[in-house]
Amino acid sequence: MFRIIERRGWYFALSLLLMLPGIIYMIWSLTTQGHLLPLSIDYTGGTLWEMRFNEPQRPTDVREVFVAAGYPDTTAFTVEDDQTIQVKFKNIETNEKEQIQAALVDRFGEFDERSYRSIGPTIGGEVSQAAVIAVLVASVLILGYIAFAFRQVAHPVRFGVCAVIALIHDTLVIISFACIMYLIAGWEIDALFLTAALTVIGYSVNDTIVVFDRIRENYRKYRSEGLSALANRSIVETAQRSLGTQITTLLSLVAILVLGGATLQQFVAVLIVGIISGTYSSIFNATAFLVAWEERSFFPRTSTATPSSNGQAALA
Amino acid sequence: MRNNTFSLAVVVLLALAALYIVLPVDHPAWLERSLSRDPEAPRDLMDLKLGLDLRGGTQVLLESDLAEGVALPDGAMSTAKTIVENRVNGLGVAEAVVQNQGDNRIIVELPGVRNPDQAVETLRSTGQLEFVDPAGSTLAQGMIINTTNHPNAVQTAQEGGLVDPSSIPYPDRVFQTAMTGEVLRDAIAAPDQYGNWQINFGLTSEGSTTFFNYTSSHIGQPMAIVLDGHVLSAPTINAAISDNGVITGQFTQSEAESLAVQMRYGALPVPLKVVDIRTIGASLGQDSVSRSLRAAIVGMIAVVIYMLALYRLPGLLAAAALLCYIVFNLAIYKLIPVTLTLPGIAGFILSIGMAVDANILIFERFKEEMRAGRSLRLAVETGFSRAWPAIWDSNLSTLITCAVLFWFGNTFGASTVKGFAITLAVGVLLSMFSAVFVTRTFMRSLLAGTAQKSSTSRSLLGY
């Protein structure tokens, strides 16, 4: 029998390591900037304007026009090629936009408006609030559902709590990823990030349930075995399925990432990281946590000298 | 096995029916009519409905702009919605959507509008109602004309979007404004004693004199009621009118109510401000469509190859079930109808992976049962029944997150988030059907044809 669960100390350590960048960023950002995350205009309000010029333009030149028009807090950068420029600045009214547009045409000639978004700060605030509510409601509903679905086994609430711990882990891992990508490539957390996060939560729980379901089934079959042996057995039995599913899902996602264009790139990248993390956490966090809880030992000493035959006796 | 032959026939028929709906051919009129709630406007089944981010267009969220402490009058937002709706129709934008959202917001979607900034200004401007003298020309509802007070109405409408040229019979004429909406005190739609809908209107004391002077000198002639250059109605003056009057005609209830609302509140009952506006250029939308289509095809082929390599014959069956699944999905998008957005397509591609998940769960179980030495038939049946609780529980948790996402998207007009939630939810539901009903039927039909456990079946079935 594989001894997977016994090495849980390492998994927990790895998970902490993966979550750390996000946690450090959030603490740093809160103390120095006054907000937790690099949020996009979806949550803060503002304007994002993507335009494609007939000739390559330097973002600094485009920014100059905005600064001259009285918007000093403007950032401009290229997307995809050097003819397409994205500008981010504060929320404006239609007539203000028309003035800037005239100034831009004056300097660079006619351009194609690829996309334009301007959102007021009150809406942004409401969206942030609803996003928090959405994540909390989803977590509570899932916790309740799992406790209900696993009501026949001992301690059904533990199953729910462990699934939720796994999904908090996954959320923190994708936040880490998002913060790192913000520092490297300027990615921001937008409404689609929330969508990705909730999807990852759904997937993570989906994976966790498949393992838990096997534990539930084996629990009836092999009552004499301890939980850690049951967990090992269930992980091994479901491993092929978890891998199979993960690979098919990732195949589809990588296809979108490579071929799908810039609009969806961040969304899909977050999904990919989250889904890998979800499968990892369902085995190495949720299930390991369940056993740790049962045995009241989170970092068992794995003695290589005397491996117990059924992997049951982990020393505290 | 007769039972299974029946199931197989059902699967094949359903797949053919779905395929027929999906194909971009002309569908019989009775089908398109029966799918639409409004018998006047049968649903077009030709193409999938694309969201603004794929076809290009503008979405605006308008909010009542009242001073601090001023309460919103009852029904003001639904009235404002009706007026905005009429203006949108006036812009001539096809398939525009106007909806109330929350207590004090209106969301407007304008697909393919050419000059979005101007269109938005037209929507939130305070309109002006006029009574216009047609001076011998025939004016009818839906026409756009220039008037003394709005000498550029035709030009504005043409710049705003796609206007049917037949609604502008007099592009170069300016009609004489006889009175403005200020003469009206109120206007109410009500049925007469025979049940025909009409509009009863009352005039202000100053208005009575003006109205009487004009109507008494134009008896027998038509008079056009015009809002911002759009002709709402052109009734004939039957008698001189002062104090109160009636407009009769072949009105339906909703037409009469809409006309009364516009006469009453030619101007919006509350000022509106833009709190969220997004415009997607048509070129970006077109680009997104072709790219995501390519991604979907490549993703699907990769999944099919993977399934074949890993599960051989059952993998082939799963691939066939997957094709059915895709056709069912697209058919449901057309039938509901689901408006496809870019994240919606991502949700769909994601659900392809998901649909395969259920199959993988079943096949892994099936392999286990075969290794445990069960007969082929028994292994198939236990494979399905053992895998079911896991499929059900895990899909239900995804549906829970979809419901939360849908709520979030709906509250804020984030149609992208909503689109993703809908396609993922439809995908999850269909994937259960496809894995359990379609794949199982295929497997059973295959079993009926093959012999028991043998070395060839072993390599074919891949256990």
pLDDT band at A1 (very low <50, low <70, confident <90, very high): low
* Shortest Cα distance, chain B CAs vs residue A211, angstroms: 9
**Is-contact A112 A52, C-beta < 8 A?**
yes
Interface test with B, best of A199, A234, A236 (most B CBs within 10 A): A199
Q: Which CATH number fits domain A46-119: 1.10.10.10, 3.20.20.70, 3.30.70.3400, 3.40.50.300?
A: 3.30.70.3400
Q: Does B312 touch chain A (CB under 8 A)?
A: no
Q: Does B276 touch chain A (CB under 8 A)?
A: yes
Q: Supply A27's token pair.
A: 């603490």
Of the two residues B416 and A280, the one the predictor is more confident about is: A280
**Mean pLDDT computed over B151-172:** 73
Fold of A5-34+123-295: Multidrug efflux transporter AcrB transmembrane fold (1.20.1640)
List of chain B residues whose C-beta atoms are within 8 Å of the C-beta of residue A237: 368
List of chain B residues whose C-beta atoms are within 8 Å of the C-beta of residue A203: 398
**Is-contact A226 A312, C-beta < 8 A?**
yes
**CB-nearest partner of A120 from B276, B284, B401:** B276
pLDDT per position as a tens digit, B80-130: 888 888 777 766 677 788 888 888 889 898 887 777 777 787 777 666 788
- Output the pLDDT for position A306: 40
Comparing CA positions, the residue from A214, A304, A278 lying closest to residue A7 is A304
Q: Does B356 touch chain A (CB under 8 A)?
A: yes
Q: Does B338 touch chain A (CB under 8 A)?
A: no
CB contact under 8 A, A264 and B292: yes
Report cis status (omega within 30 of 0) of the bond before B337: yes
**CB-nearest partner of B295 from A94, A205, A255:** A255
**Mean pLDDT computed over A115-131:** 84
Task: Please give the mean pLDDT across all residues of chain B.
Answer: 81
CA distances from B304 to A85, A247, B352, B358 (A): 39, 12, 10, 14
Of the two residues A25 and B359, the one the predictor is more confident about is: A25
Distance CA B107, CA A285 (A): 44
pLDDT per position as a tens digit, B9-62: 888 899 998 888 888 777 777 777 777 666 566 667 777 888 888 888 898 888
> Cβ atoms within 10 A of the Cβ of B142, count?
14
Q: Where are the domains of chain A?
A: 5-34+123-295, 46-119
CB contact under 8 A, A253 and B390: no
Q: Where are the domains of chain B?
A: 2-36+281-461, 57-277
Chain B, residues 437-456, CB within 8 A of chain A, namely none
Identify the closest residue of chain B to A262 by CA–CA distance: B288
Q: Does A145 touch chain B (CB under 8 A)?
A: yes
Q: Does A69 touch chain B (CB under 8 A)?
A: no
**CB-nearest partner of A255 from B299, B396, B401:** B299
Q: What is the ipTM of this complex?
A: 0.76
- Output the pLDDT for position A273: 95
Chain A, residues 163-202, CB within 8 A of chain B, namely 191-192, 194-195, 198-199, 201-202
Q: Which CATH number fits domain B2-36+281-461: 1.20.1640.10, 3.50.50.60, 1.20.810.10, 3.40.718.10?
A: 1.20.1640.10
Mean pLDDT lowest among A284-298, B152-166, B230-244, B356-370: B152-166
Comparing CA positions, the residue from B308, B300, B304 lying closest to residue B462 is B308
CB contact under 8 A, B408 and A131: yes
Distance CA B145, CA B151 (A): 8
**CB-nearest partner of B279 from A116, A130, A244:** A116
